């Protein structure tokens, strides 16, 4: 891909857009970075691109005379692909791609790409650890928080690039070709962006579109959507399941994780040896095993050692602390209803009840799937954020419901409502952008406020 002197517009001045603009400018492109937000609200890193790399900075509306000159648009995941600047440039013959596609055209090595509604970050991280501990050269990037363009320079022909990909990122791929592609699950999500669920599922399905018969496609046999994709793929399909035995694939049977094909039945590890909680995390482990199984030189013993020590990722069912017999769990990464459902299922074997902190910027998906678990396991809910009233309306009558204006207040109310032996769980089922910059910030604030509460109670008892 020739970038020298190419007139390029990057849409979105967040982490992905800033990385793309820097990448392009360093390769001689003429770059303009745009965001709807006023420049005064941009990050320091975005603002520094002008002085360091000569990137033009544009906020508000983009003038049509500028769009007439643009050859390439690189669109950030948070910017809809039907936005006017992208459509304008596309219609006049320019190219519109995303940051993942841009990076791919320069990336060296092999690619394992992971998508799904839930479990992407845990699975991506675990695959990276499994390969690293097997002595492989590994880079983990993408939707996990490190833009793919930032690891292009360090990629080599023997690198395994493990890439988390969202539906938004997959919308804008053209040539992106994973050697191994993993689809964990597809359930209703992002219906604030997609008019119909099948459009969201179709975006996920694009992860397989450039694969060949030499590649591997890993699919969840228990998910109706992903299981239905098998017949239409060119790649060799490998299934995983926690609910049934498979003739070929990776599955859970009587507490054991097993690989089976026409010639072997291989015991891999006992479920009890895995530190990750919940059946959904067994799914993530099976998917990870399916992916690394087809990477040469990864031994069973190395796999077992990694699984026995892997504790998961921050902000995903993370035990923060215990205060006066009440455990506090940070599940800020649960930005969909299905993710919160899985968190409740994972903690349902705990002896105590759950006080659930929930809410944020909703995605136009119903909260009704949570009803039966809330009725059975949740003592009370504390609602925050823009969708609090909608959640209250849809789940009213199942348990006691309170509302809070801040995370500090939510934690205070939750602790007051909890009994010794209970769990306070932050699992929002919503995006964070109404109150926080990211789910990471939301989780950090939750953790800090838990620590503040513990200190406050300790000080008052002295």
Report the pLDDT value the prediction gives residue 349, as an integer from 0 to 100: 85
Report the pLDDT value the prediction gives residue 461, as an integer from 0 to 100: 76
Cβ-contact 24, 31 below 8 angstroms: yes
| DSSP string over 257-314 | EEEE-SS-EEEEEEGGG----SHHHHHHHHHHHHHHTTSTT--HHHHHHHHHH----T
Report the pLDDT value the prediction gives residue 277, as an integer from 0 to 100: 87
Report the pLDDT value the prediction gives residue 191, as an integer from 0 to 100: 81
Query: Would residue 83 count as lying in a domain?
Result: yes
CATH number at residue 420: 3.90.190.20
In DSSP terms, 160 is beta-bridged to: 110, 138
Residues 175 and 137 in one domain: yes
Structure tokens at 200: 């969201």
Report the pLDDT value the prediction gives residue 332, as an integer from 0 to 100: 97
Please give the order of strands across the beta sheet that includes 400-403. 318-323, 326-330, 423-426, 354-358, 378-383, 400-403
Residues 6+ apart with CB under 8 A from 406: 384, 435
Query: Would residue 1 count as lying in a domain?
Result: no
Residues 221 and 171 in one domain: yes
Residues 269 and 155 in one domain: yes
Q: Which range marks the domain in which residue 377 is found? A: 318-461
Report the pLDDT value the prediction gives residue 189, as an integer from 0 to 100: 81
d(CA 358, CA 381): 7
d(CA 181, CA 194): 23
Residues 50 and 170 in one domain: no
d(CA 378, CA 370): 10
- Average pLDDT across the chain, whole number: 96
* Mean pLDDT (whole number) for 41-53: 97
- Domain's final residue, options 280, 309, 338: 309
pLDDT digits (tens, 9 = 90+) for 330-348: 999 999 999 999 999 999 9
d(CA 336, CA 368): 13
- Domain's final residue, options 263, 283, 309: 309
Query: Would residue 2 count as lying in a domain?
Result: no
pLDDT digits (tens, 9 = 90+) for 363-390: 999 999 999 999 999 999 999 999 999 9
pLDDT digits (tens, 9 = 90+) for 101-111: 999 999 999 99
Residues 219 and 336 in one domain: no
Flag whether the pTM goes above 0.85.
yes
Residues 327 and 457 in one domain: yes
Residues 149 and 259 in one domain: yes
d(CA 58, CA 60): 7
Confidence of residue 159 (pLDDT cuts 50, 70, 90): very high
Q: Is the pLDDT of residue 462 over 80?
A: no
Residues 79 and 200 in one domain: no
Confidence of residue 266 (pLDDT cuts 50, 70, 90): very high
pLDDT digits (tens, 9 = 90+) for 71-109: 999 999 989 999 999 999 999 999 999 999 999 999 999
CATH number at residue 24: 3.40.50.720
Report the pLDDT value the prediction gives residue 192, as an integer from 0 to 100: 83
Q: Is the pLDDT of residue 298 over 90?
A: yes
Residues 223 and 239 in one domain: yes
Report the pLDDT value the prediction gives residue 179, as an integer from 0 to 100: 98
Confidence of residue 193 (pLDDT cuts 50, 70, 90): confident
Residues 196 and 343 in one domain: no
Q: Specify the number of domains making up the chain.
A: 3
Report the pLDDT value the prediction gives residue 370, as an integer from 0 to 100: 97
Query: Would residue 395 count as lying in a domain?
Result: yes
Helical ranges in 336-438 per DSSP H? 337-346, 371-377, 388-395, 407-417
d(CA 412, CA 450): 9
* Mean pLDDT (whole number) for 176-197: 92
Cβ-contact 426, 360 below 8 angstroms: no
Lowest mean pLDDT among 150-154, 260-264, 306-310: 260-264
CATH number at residue 250: 3.40.1190.10
pLDDT digits (tens, 9 = 90+) for 233-262: 999 999 999 999 999 999 999 999 999 998
In DSSP terms, 426 is beta-bridged to: 330, 357
Report the pLDDT value the prediction gives residue 260, as an integer from 0 to 100: 97
Residues 52 and 114 in one domain: no
Query: Would residue 114 count as lying in a domain?
Result: yes
- Domain's final residue, options 99, 131, 162: 99
């Amino acid at each position: 891909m020739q970038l020298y002197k190419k007139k390029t517009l990057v849409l979105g001045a967040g982490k992905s857009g800033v990385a793309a603009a820097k990448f392009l400018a360093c390769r001689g492109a003429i770059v303009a970075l745009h965001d709807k937000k006023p420049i005064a609200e941009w990050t320091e890193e975005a603002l520094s691109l002008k002085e360091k790399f000569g990137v033009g900075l544009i906020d508000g509306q983009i003038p049509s005379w500028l769009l007439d000159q643009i050859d390439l648009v690189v669109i950030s995941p948070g910017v809809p692909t039907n936005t006017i600047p992208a459509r304008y440039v596309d219609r006049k013959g320019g190219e519109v791609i995303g940051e993942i596609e841009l990076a791919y055209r320069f990336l060296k090595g092999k690619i394992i790409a992971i998508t799904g509604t839930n479990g992407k970050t845990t699975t991506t991280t675990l695959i990276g650890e499994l390969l690293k501990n097997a002595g492989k050269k590994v880079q983990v990037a993408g939707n996990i928080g490190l833009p793919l363009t930032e690891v292009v320079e360090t990629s080599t022909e023997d690198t395994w690039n493990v890439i988390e990909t969202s539906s938004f990122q997959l919308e804008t791929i053209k040539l992106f070709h994973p050697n191994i592609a993993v689809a964990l699950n597809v359930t209703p999500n992002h219906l604030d962006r997609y008019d119909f669920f099948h459009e969201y599922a179709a975006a996920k399905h694009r992860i397989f579109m450039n694969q060949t018969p030499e590649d591997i496609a890993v699919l969840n046999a228990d998910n109706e959507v992903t299981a239905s994709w098998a017949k239409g793929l060119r790649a060799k399909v490998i299934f995983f399941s926690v609910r049934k035995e498979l003739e070929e694939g990776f599955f859970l049977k009587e507490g054991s994780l097993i690989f089976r094909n026409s010639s072997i039945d291989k015991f891999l590890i006992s479920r009890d040896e895995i530190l990750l909680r919940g059946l959904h995390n067994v799914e993530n482990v099976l998917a990870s095993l399916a992916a690394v199984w087809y990477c040469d030189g990864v031994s069973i013993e190395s796999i077992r050692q990694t699984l026995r020590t892997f504790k998961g990722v921050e902000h995903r069912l993370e035990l923060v602390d215990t205060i006066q017999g009440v455990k506090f769990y940070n599940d800020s990464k649960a930005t969909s209803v299905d993710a919160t459902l899985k968190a409740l299922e994972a903690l349902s074997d705990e002896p105590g009840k759950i006080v659930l902190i929930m809410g944020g910027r909703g995605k136009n998906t119903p909260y009704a799937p949570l009803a039966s678990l809330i009725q059975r396991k949740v003592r009370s809910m504390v609602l925050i954020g823009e969708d609090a009233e909608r959640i209250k309306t849809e789940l009213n009558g199942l348990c006691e419901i309170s509302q809070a204006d801040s995370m500090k207040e939510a934690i205070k109310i939750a602790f007051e409502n909890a009994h010794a032996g209970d769990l306070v769980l932050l699992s929002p089922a919503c995006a964070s952008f109404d109150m926080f910059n990211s789910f990471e910030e939301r989780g950090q604030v939750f953790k800090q406020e838990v620590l503040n509460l513990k200190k406050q109670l300790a000080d008052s008892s002295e």
